[in-house]
Structure 1
C-alpha cells in the first residue's frame, strides 16, 4: 500500500461523527449549545494541543548558503584544496598558492550563483500556517467571544457566517443556507452546500466532498450561516494531513541524484587511483614526491569547472525562460523541466476557463429554445438574494445574445428565495396585465411540482413516459459534463401579491439549462505540442467523472477509461503502477491521492512535472520532480512550486519546455546512455599522458 503519510482514510476520520444524528452526537460527546467553559477549554488545549499545523523550523540565510556551498562537487574541490594546502604550502620549499586560489574562486562562484536563487525558494510550512493566524467566533461560558484560531479546541462551538474561514474540522449542528467553498482542498469550482444531517449514504462516502455535514479547516463560507462543533484540530485535521506532506520536504530530483552519482564515481576513482599511483612511484621517488604526484592525478581527473559551468548555464537558461513568461525559482528544476516526460495537471483553470458558462437552453424535447433562456434570465436577473455562479452565467449569456432588454417588459411582484429543502427559487412577475410565477431549480424537485409541460406554445399533461424521456435528456447532459437546472412557470389568476413555497405547485415545465466549465481554446493545441515533444499529459482532478470526461474529450485527451480515487485506495503501489501505464485520467482524487500518483510515477523512472494552483495541489507539487504553478495561485502553491508561469496557459508551459530543450544540455540523458566518462574523459586522457612520461 501507499506510504503512511499518504494514507488518509476519510471515512475512518469522519465517518462516525458524520453519520451520527445531531442530538445523538451532542449527547455522545456530552456537549450543549452553551459551549465550553473557560476551564474546559483550557483542559482540552493542554490535552490535545494548540490548533496549529506542524511547524518546520524556518531557514536562515546562512542555512541556504551552507546548502549551496556543500554540494557534492564543491565538497570534492574543498577536499582537494585541503590536500593542496599540505602539499603546495606545508611541504613545499617555496609555497605555491595558485592552485588553491583557482579552486577557491571556482567554489565561491558556483556557491554564490546557487545561493542567490535558493535563498528565494519556498518556505511552504510558514505559508500553510498563515491561514490559521486569524481569529474566529466561538461560544464560551454561554457568550460569543473572538479568540485566536490557535486557541480553538475540541468541543468548541464555532459560529460561521459569509466570509468566515473554517478554523478547524467541524460537525454542523445548525445551518441556514450554508454554502462552503472547498476549491482550495478539492479543486472543484462549485460551492458545496452543508447541512445538519448527512444526506449521502455511508457507502457513498469516498472523498471529503461527500461529507455534507462536515466543514474542513482551511475552506471558507461563501454564503449562509451555521454553528459547528470542533471535532479535529491542528495536525489531526484533513488540512493538517496535507500540511505534513509539504513540511516533510521535497525528495531529491533525478537531476540531483545524477549529479550525486557522478560525484560518487569521481570519489571512487580517486580513492582507487591515488594509492596505485603512489605505490608505483614510491619505489623510484621519495614519499613526498610520490604523494604529490598522486594528488596531482586526483586534480587532473576532477572537472574543476563543472560546478561553475553548471550554475552559469542554469542561470542563463532561467533568464531565457523568463522571456517566455516562465519564472524559475530553483535552478536545479530547469534540467528536470527539460527532461520531463510526464506532465500531470489539474483540470480546473488549466484545461478549462475556471468559470461556469451557460451552453445549453433546451425545451422538453431537448431542442434549443431561446424562450427557455428568456425565462431563466428573468428569474436570475430579478431575484435579489445572493447571486450564485449559475445566476451570473445566465445573465452573462443573455447579454451576449441581446435578450436582456426583454426584462423591461416585466414588472416584479415578489420572490420566493432559494433554500436547500426546496432546492429552487421563484420570481413572480407581471406582463400585459398577466401574472406569472417563474421557477428554476434542481431537476427532480422541479419535476415533482409540475403537472403539465409546454412545447411550442402548446400545453399538455405531464405523463410518466414524458418524465422518463426528460430524465434521459438530463442524464445525457450530465454524462457530457453539464450541470442541469430545470425551468418552469405558472399563470397566476387571483391577483396575488404575496407568495410563498406553497404556491410552487401545479406548474408547467418549460425546459432545461445546462452549464459547463468550458475547456480553453488553446488547451488542445498545447496538449498536442506537448505530446509531440515527447511529454505524456495526465489529468489528476478532484472533479466528478462526467465533467472530467467531457472536458478531456474536448481537449483531445483519450477518456475511454477514467479511474476514481476510491479505486486507487484499494490498490498497492505495484498495482497502481500498472494502472498508471494504461490510463491518463484520474477523477475524484484527494490531494493525498494526487501526491501518491506522482510518487509512484517517479518510482517507475519517469521525470514528472505537476501543475496546480490550489492548496489541494501542494502535496503533489512537493512530490514532483518539477512543480509548476501560476502567478494567480494561492500562496502555498506558489511557494511549493519550482517554476511559476505568468499566464495560466499550457502554451506558456510548452514555450518554456521548448526553450529549455533548445538551450541547455540534457544531463539526465547523458547518465542514462552510459556516457558518464564524457565528463572526465579529457582529464583522464591527460592523466595517461603524465603516467607515460613518469614511467618512461
Structure 2
C-alpha cells in the first residue's frame, strides 16, 4: 500500500468504510504476508528513520575529523612531490589508527544494540485472526491493535471497540486529565482534541481496553507531523558538558601552539612542507581525538557488563548518572517487599470474617476492566461462592484522584453498586455502615471505630481497603462518578506483602555505596512505617501527601533532606519530591513500573524500571532491571561507577600527556636547528600510545573508588593537567639536554631517542595515573599490562629493524638506551610521588 493512499479525515468515516479502503478485516486484521508487503512499501513505523551504525558508516566517521582530513591532504601533497615513502608511512599510520577505533566502536555498538533490543517496545496486533506480539516499528496501516492500561499507543487509528477507555494525550493537546475515547465518528473538521474516536502515537492508555484500526504510521501520524517541535534533544548531562568544554579547551590551546610552532619553523627557514606536516601531525597527537571513541567504548562495554548483572541500559548516557547517583527513590511493593500480595482477610465492619465482603470484593475485582494490579489478582485468586449469578451492567473506572473503583451488577432483577478502594476515600462517600446485618447511620463514633480498626491492622503491616455498596435503579442506563454517594460501608480487605528476604542486606549495601534510600509510596503511612521498620530502616522521619500539600517549595527543599518515607502521595507529589531533591544538588534515581510513575521517571536523573513494567514506564526509563531487586540495582551501580572511573582514566591520561607534549614540542621548536620530530614519527607515537589506552574499558577499578558516588569536576581535571603536564615536560627537556649536550646526538639519533622516551614514558606512566592508590595497592588488568609491555618493547626494538630507515630512526648505543630508560624510571618515580602529594593535598583542602 503506497503512502499516498493513506486516508485523510478518517475520524469522520465509519469503521466499515475505513476497513474497506484499507483492504483489511476489522475482525481478523491483515495477513502476515500483506503486512510484510505494506511494511516494505510504507516503511517502518518511526517518526524519523534511525541512522544505523553500519560498518561503512562507522568507518567513514573515523575520517570526519578536520585534522585527519588535512593530514590526508598533506599526504597527497607528499605523494605529488614524489615523496612516496613518507606518504605511504603517514597514510598507513592514519589508516591503522582509524581501523583500531573502528573495530572497537563497531564491536561495542553491536553489543549495545543487542542489549537494547531486549527491552524494545512491542504491540499486540491481530493478524489472520491470531493475536501476535510484534515490535511497534513493524505496525502498518490496516493493522488491528489491542490496547490495555499502560500501553503506549504505537500509531494513529480509530477505535473499533472500547471498554472504559481513557487516554493520556497531554503531549499533543495539553489536556491535563485523561480523555475517554469512544467508537462514535466525529465531524470532518474536528480538531485533535475533538476527535474522541481517534488514538494518537506517543500517547498512552490510562485505563480500560480497546481494539483499534491503525490508519497512519510513522511520520504520517499527528505526532510525527509536529515531532520537530515536540521532540527536543535531552538536556546535556554534567558529564557531557564537561567533556565538551574540556575538548574545546585542549583544542583551542593546541591550535594556538601548533600555528605558533609552524610559524617559528618557517621563520627559521625549516622546510615548509615538513613544517606543515609536522604541525598537522602534532595536532593529531595533541588533540583528544580518541575521547569520543573511548567514551563510547567505555559506555558500551559498561552496558554489557551491567547486562550480565541484570541491568539493561536503554540510554548509554545514563550510565554516568547511575554511577553518580546518591539518592534512590523507590516504591516499597516488589522492591522492599516480595511483591506477591495475599488476601489475608475479608472482615465486616465489626472486624469479623465475612462471606458477604468476600463476594462483593470478588465481583468488583473480577469484573473491572481497568488497571491490572496485584490486589485485584489476589482477590480473584481467592474466589467467592455465588459470583456466577451476577451480571455486570457498568463500571466507574479507577483514577488516582478518587482512589476507588465501582462496578454495577444485576442479580434477581435488582441492581447494586459495589465500590472498593482506599479506606479513607471509600468512607468519604458512605452515609451508613452495616453492623450485624443492619444498616446504621455513619455517625462520628462509628467512623472513629472503623478508623481505629484500620490503624491497628495497618500497624501490623496490613494494607487495608474498604468495600461499600448500595442499591441502584434498574432503569438507569449510565453511571458516573456522582453516583458514588450515600453508600453503605460493609467491610475491610486485608492484604499482606512481607519484606523480601535479603532486602535489609541490600539496603546496607546501598548505604556503603553512598546511596541513600527514600521510600515514595501511595500506601497508608502506617503500613509504610511498618515496612520500613521490618527492612531495618528503623524509626525514620515521614511525610504524608497531605503534609506535602501544606509545604511551600522552599520548605520542601529542606524537608526532603531529612525525610526517608513519603506516604499517601499521588503522582504529582512524587514528581515534586524528586525535583526538590535535585534542587538540593543530589543525583536522584527513581524506580517505578506503573502508569503513574512515568512523570517521575522522566524527572529523575536516572529513571529505572523493570522488564515487566507497563510500556509507558519502560519508555520513560533510562535503565530496565531484568529482576525487581535492590541487590541487582546495587551491582548495577557498581558497574556504572567502574565505567565512569575508566572514562576518567583516559581523560587524566589525555590531559596530562597532551598538555606536557604541547610545551615540550613548542620549547624544542624554539632552539633546535631541525624539526624536533618527523611527522611520521609523531603519528606513529600517537598510534602506539593509543593501543594501551584502548584497554582502559576493561581495566580493574579500585574498590575504594566504588565506595562513593563521583561527579564530573572540570576544575579538578584542570588542576591535574597543570600539575602532571609540566612534570612530563620537565623530563622531556631532560631528554633533550642529555641527547644534545651530553651525547652530542645527530638529528636522526635525537629523533630516535625522543621517540623511545616518549613512547616508553607515556606507556608506563599510565600505571601511576590510572589510580589514586600507591602503585603496589592497585592492580591493572592483564590486557593493559600485556599491551603496554608489547608497545614499550616494540619501540625499543624498532630502531634495530629494517623499518627504522623509512621511519627516520637509527640504532642507538646500548648506553644511550640505558640512559633514556633511567630518565623514564625517574619520571615514573616522580609521577608516583607527585600523585601522592596531589591527592593528599586535595584531601586536606
- Secondary structure, in 3 states, of the residue corresponding to 1:654? helix
Aligned match of 2:716 in 655, 662, 673?
A: 673
Decide whether the 8 Å contact of 1:125 with 1:247 is kept in 2. no
Aligned match of 2:75 in 55, 76, 85?
A: 85
- Tell me, in whole angstroms, the C-alpha distance in 1 between the residues paired with 2:69 and 2:728: 18
Aligned match of 1:326 in 311, 314, 332?
A: 311
- Secondary structure, in 3 states, of the residue corresponding to 1:644? strand
Give yes or no for the alignment of 1:342 onto 2:324: no
Decide whether the 8 Å contact of 2:357 with 2:490 is kept in 1. no
Aligned match of 1:251 in 235, 238, 251?
A: 235
Decide whether the 8 Å contact of 2:420 with 2:467 is kept in 1. yes
Equivalent pairs, count:
545
Q: 1:162 to 1:686 in 2, by over 3 A?
A: farther
Query: What's the CA shift for 1:325?
Result: 1.7
Aligned match of 1:60 in 31, 45, 51?
A: 51
**Which stretches in structure 2 are left out of the alignment for 5+ residues?**
1-10, 19-44, 124-134, 146-153, 171-175, 183-198, 212-219, 397-404, 476-486, 649-710, 742-845
Aligned match of 1:560 in 542, 547, 561?
A: 542
Q: 1:335 to 1:357 in 2, by over 3 A?
A: same
Aligned twin of 1:260: 244
Decide whether the 8 Å contact of 1:254 with 1:607 is kept in 2. no
Alignment of 1:146-545 (within 5 A): 150=156, 161-162=162-163, 166=167, 218-219=204-205, 222=208, 247-286=231-270, 288=272, 289-302=274-287, 310-345=295-330, 349-351=334-336, 357-359=342-344, 361-362=346-347, 364=349, 369=352, 371-372=353-354, 374-377=355-358, 386=367, 392-394=377-379, 396=381, 444=427, 448=431, 450=433, 452-453=435-436, 464=443, 466-473=445-452, 476=455, 482-486=463-467, 511-515=491-495, 520=500, 523-538=503-518, 543=522
- Tell me, in whole angstroms, the C-alpha distance in 2 between the residues paired with 1:599 and 1:65: 43
- Tell me, in whole angstroms, the C-alpha distance in 1 between the residues paired with 2:343 and 2:496: 6
Q: 1:321 to 1:107 in 2, by over 3 A?
A: same
- Tell me, in whole angstroms, the C-alpha distance in 2 between the residues paired with 1:262 and 1:564: 46
Compare 128-137 and 658-667 and name the one that shifted more: 128-137
Q: 1:420 to 1:304 in 2, by over 3 A?
A: closer
Decide whether the 8 Å contact of 1:163 with 1:222 is kept in 2. yes
Decide whether the 8 Å contact of 1:345 with 1:611 is kept in 2. yes
- Tell me, in whole angstroms, the C-alpha distance in 1 between the residues paired with 2:407 and 2:64: 68
Q: 1:254 to 1:513 in 2, by over 3 A?
A: same
Query: What's the CA shift for 1:270?
Result: 0.6
Q: 1:331 to 1:420 in 2, by over 3 A?
A: closer
Q: 1:452 to 1:500 in 2, by over 3 A?
A: farther
Decide whether the 8 Å contact of 1:376 with 1:440 is kept in 2. no
Decide whether the 8 Å contact of 1:613 with 1:630 is kept in 2. yes
Alignment of 1:102-117 (within 5 A): 102-115=93-106
Q: 1:164 to 1:628 in 2, by over 3 A?
A: same
Q: 1:417 to 1:632 in 2, by over 3 A?
A: closer
- Tell me, in whole angstroms, the C-alpha distance in 1 between the residues paired with 2:739 and 2:550: 65
Q: TM-score, normalised by structure 1?
A: 0.57
Decide whether the 8 Å contact of 2:259 with 2:279 is kept in 1. yes
Residue deviations 1:607-636 (CA, integer Å, cap 9, x gap): 444444456555655665544333223456
- Secondary structure, in 3 states, of the residue corresponding to 1:272? helix
Query: What's the CA shift for 1:101?
Result: 3.1
Q: 1:385 to 1:300 in 2, by over 3 A?
A: closer
Higher relative contact order (CA 8 A, sep 6+): 1
- Tell me, in whole angstroms, the C-alpha distance in 2 between the residues paired with 1:616 and 1:132: 29
- Tell me, in whole angstroms, the C-alpha distance in 2 between the residues paired with 1:361 and 1:320: 47
- Tell me, in whole angstroms, the C-alpha distance in 1 between the residues paired with 2:532 and 2:361: 31
Decide whether the 8 Å contact of 2:468 with 2:491 is kept in 1. yes
Query: What's the CA shift for 1:579?
Result: 6.6
Give yes or no for the alignment of 1:646 onto 2:626: yes
Q: 1:441 to 1:326 in 2, by over 3 A?
A: closer
Q: 1:268 to 1:166 in 2, by over 3 A?
A: closer
Bigger-Rg structure (1/2): 2
Query: What's the CA shift for 1:267?
Result: 0.5
Q: 1:611 to 1:101 in 2, by over 3 A?
A: farther
Decide whether the 8 Å contact of 2:349 with 2:434 is kept in 1. no
Decide whether the 8 Å contact of 2:364 with 2:420 is kept in 1. no
- Tell me, in whole angstroms, the C-alpha distance in 2 between the residues paired with 1:36 and 1:669: 55
- Secondary structure, in 3 states, of the residue corresponding to 2:235? coil
- Tell me, in whole angstroms, the C-alpha distance in 1 between the residues paired with 2:206 and 2:492: 30
Aligned twin of 1:212: none
